[in-house]
Amino acid sequence: MKNKFYARQGDLGITSIQKLPDNLKELKTNVLAYGETTGHKHQLLETMPQQFSILEDKNGNQYLEINQPTDLIHEEHKTITIERGFYIIKREREYDYFAEEIKRIQD
């Protein structure tokens, strides 16, 4: 892969990868994440069939296969265009020193 792609939209990080891992399950949705506090959502804007696939491994990690440039939209964040390729989706986390545990950031 020539250029590494990385983008952030709120609590989501999107990073390009060389290939997808094996044994992924396709999710039948265009939503990557729902906001726990606002109810807003990070979603891919689908304009044609088989434009993208959202996939998940057995540990709940999410991946994208983008076949045509696709916009990632959210009510409170700037739209991001994701080009053709493979990606891993990471959610930002923080350490709660009082509870002594790692928590996902709530959007």
The C-alpha atoms of residue 7 and residue 16 are separated, in whole angstroms, by 9
Whether the model clears a pTM of 0.95, i.e. scores above it, the answer is no
Residue 105 reports pLDDT greater than 50: no
End-to-end CA distance of the chain: 31
Model confidence over 23-57: pLDDT tens digits? 999 999 999 988 766 678 889 998 888 999 999 99
